[in-house]
Amino acid sequence: MAEFHVTPWDVSGKVDYDKLVKEFGTQKIDEGLRSRMAKLAKKDNVMLRREYFFSHRDLNLALDDYESGKGFFLYTGRGPSGPMHIGHLVPLMFTKWLQDAFGVNLYIEITDDEKFLFKRELDWDSIQKHAQDNIADIAAVGFDPDKTFIFKDSEYVRNVYPLMLKVAKKTTFSTTKAVFGFGNDTNIGAVFYPAYQVVPTFFEHKRCLIPNAIDQDPYWRIQRDIAESLGYKKTAAIHSKFLPPLTGTEGKMSASVADTAVWLTDDEKTVAKKVNKYAFSGGQATVEEHRKLGGNPDIDVPFQWLSIMFEPDDEKLAEIEANYRSGKLLTGELKQILIAKINEFLVEHRERKKKAVTGGTVEKMMKTGKLAKKMWETNFE
Ligand code: TYM
């Protein structure tokens, strides 16, 4: 098997998720835990059912806390390095399902500082523009405006600085070297930044549950090492795999390779063009061969995307899979199914985004909603 590499900044190669779980020291979500969660949530979720969210830390404890009435809260985030693609929306959609199901508070960190420090080519002004636009995309996902606080690191820092210092004081350079691979050429802002990504796990004394793709897990290792000594609980986390780039099942859909991603701003023609041109196909080279030999959905990106989120109906997905394997369904036809689904999704998303800005939802989640208001009145020490 080819080498693969997963860090919070970069994913390359064909990820062996079983191996990654061992390497990171997380646990796979087994059938028992999956059905417990669906039962408590009182509704099903396609990404959980199809094992796209596949790994966790202490998810069972977060569910225990929910059942015993102690409760938990949610925390996730986004680094505003550019416009958002569909891959970025995946953990957020799952987070919305969690908030709806469990009725809990949610904190969303927008790490303008992180992207400034880690991306040499990005200047402050463009990051601020991306942050503003990303926040509108995030608000469009439809979280509860009175139970959701979206904050930009550079703005909220005065409310959390003493707590951040406590986290920083507990974290040695040698830990960050081991966890993130920092070295002598890492700027000192970047070395300090992880303290800020840990801080929101302490916004409440309840247990925190973090929905994210597994690339962010290294931060939670640090959190879990120091949480109890600061008087808080070790965070729980639930991890997804990566939405693959259009070009194949290696790596992740990434902002740095524009044509391999579908952006939330891509119009209908662009989506069709991209999927037709770049989407890696498990089909055969000619129609005759395809009819005879059939296609391979396991390596086919359009099929993978349908199965991760765009075709939630199990029967329909099974039919697509069978027809593709048998050669009845051609590559071009499979791509058309995906194109229609993505476009339907994006048109609705953009409509919701417009409304989130003009209807005041963004304002509520950042400043005037119940939770946001309370957070601006709180100083963490
Ligand atoms: P960022 O902006 O790189 O990514 C935001 C979220 O999207 C996930 N993600 C993906 N999920 C599926 N498929 C993909 N191709 C894909 N690419 C990215 C990431 O795992 C993440 O959940 N440092 C963070 C910001 C942050 C954060 C957090 C994220 C701050 N606090 C707490 C999660 C939880 C970052 O730059 O994310």
Q: What is the pLDDT of residues 184-208, one digit of tens each?
A: 999 999 999 999 999 999 999 999 9
160: Cβ–Cβ under 8 A, 6 or more apart, which residues?
196, 199, 380
Residue 239, strand partner residues: 55, 212
Q: How does DSSP classify residue 9?
A: T
Kindly state the tokens that stand for 272: 């069709």
pLDDT band at 232 (very low <50, low <70, confident <90, very high): very high
For the cut 80, the answer to whether the pLDDT of residue 2 exceeds it is no
Q: What share of the chain is helix, strand, coil (3-state, %, to 5)?
A: 55, 10, 30
Residue 151 phi, psi dihedral angles, 5° rounding: -135, 145
- Cα radius of gyration (the chain): 21
Q: How far is CA 363 from CA 105, 136, 160, 264, in A?
A: 17, 10, 21, 21
From ligand 1's centre to the CA of 149, what distance in Å?
A: 17
For the cut 70, the answer to whether the pLDDT of residue 177 exceeds it is yes
Q: Please choose from 6, 50, 88 the residue to mutate so as to test ligand 1's pocket, defined by most ligand atoms within 8 A of CB.
A: 88
Give the pTM. Answer: 0.97
Calpha distance 320→337 (Å, rounded): 10
Q: How far is CA 298 from CA 21, 45, 305, 307, in A?
A: 21, 22, 11, 10
**pLDDT score of 248:** 87
Q: Is the CB of 252 under 6 A from ligand 1?
A: yes
Q: Is the CB of 108 under 6 A from ligand 1?
A: no
Q: Considering only CA atoms, which of 318, 303, 321 is closest in space to residue 246?
A: 303
